[in-house]
Structure 1
Amino acid sequence: MANREDIEDRKLTVRLFAAIVIAIVVAGALLFLFGGPLIAEHLEPGLGLKASAVISFIVTLVVLVVMAVVAGEGLIGELQFMILGFAGFFLVLWLLIAWIF
């Protein structure tokens, strides 16, 4: 049977979770309302190949570092595949970002 302290802790946990969810929803709504025009204004002229290359390099580097950390012990054996993956991922992201934006 549940202890009185456990019931109180559950209630507190549910309240904190609800408050966090409400804060995230409110922040998302404010970002959508006020951040949308600001983002649209800066992306209005579009991105060239130089700007999209920088963005795709950063995104590719972050994704592959996360994948390497998650892979753990097999990092040395997978290095050649990661280099090829980096080149392919970078090329695809670079051209897609330049094309879409």
Structure 2
Amino acid sequence: MGEADRKDKDESRKIAIVLISLVVVVGIAAMLLLPSLSEFAAAHLQPGLGLKTAAIIAFFVTVVLFLAFAVFAGDGLLGELQFMLLGFFLFFVIFWLMIAWVF
């Protein structure tokens, strides 16, 4: 084993030790902050969007996204219409539920 290999091995060990210790410190900090974060969430976060508003937002996001897909795909608007319709409904349902859940 050459001198350069030994230096690389030592440097990678140092980096690994620093990264592992950083993960441990962040984990301990997260455990200590968890009670205060739950109090903050209960006090300041209110119920968000309902399903009806989320459906409207998801519809327009999906339409804009699929128009962009069709334009950049070339002949995608007519040639791949059956796949785009199925993809539209799948995207719509996923966006709808995720927007209602997250917001």
TM-score, normalised with respect to structure 2? 0.53
Which deviations, in whole Å up to 9, do the C-alpha atoms of 1:15-64 show, x marking residues without a partner? xxxxxxxxxxxxxxxxxxxxxxxxxxxx9441000000000001000000
Equivalent in the alignment of 2:52: 50
Query: In percent, how many aligned pairs have the same letter?
Result: 61
Equivalent in the alignment of 1:97: 99
1:73 Cα shift?
Answer: 2.3
Equivalent in the alignment of 1:40: none
Q: Please show how residues 5-84 of structure 1 align to structure 2 within 5 Å.
A: 44-84=46-86
Provide structure 2 residue ranges, at least 5 long, that are not aligned to the other structure: 1-44
Aligned residue identity for 2:61: V
1:76 Cα shift?
Answer: 1.7
**Runs of 4+ residues over 6 Å off in structure 1:** none
User: Superposition RMSD on alpha carbons, in Å?
Assistant: 1.5
Larger Rg: 2
Higher relative contact order (CA 8 A, sep 6+): 1
Q: How many residues align structurally?
A: 59
TM-score, normalised with respect to structure 1? 0.54
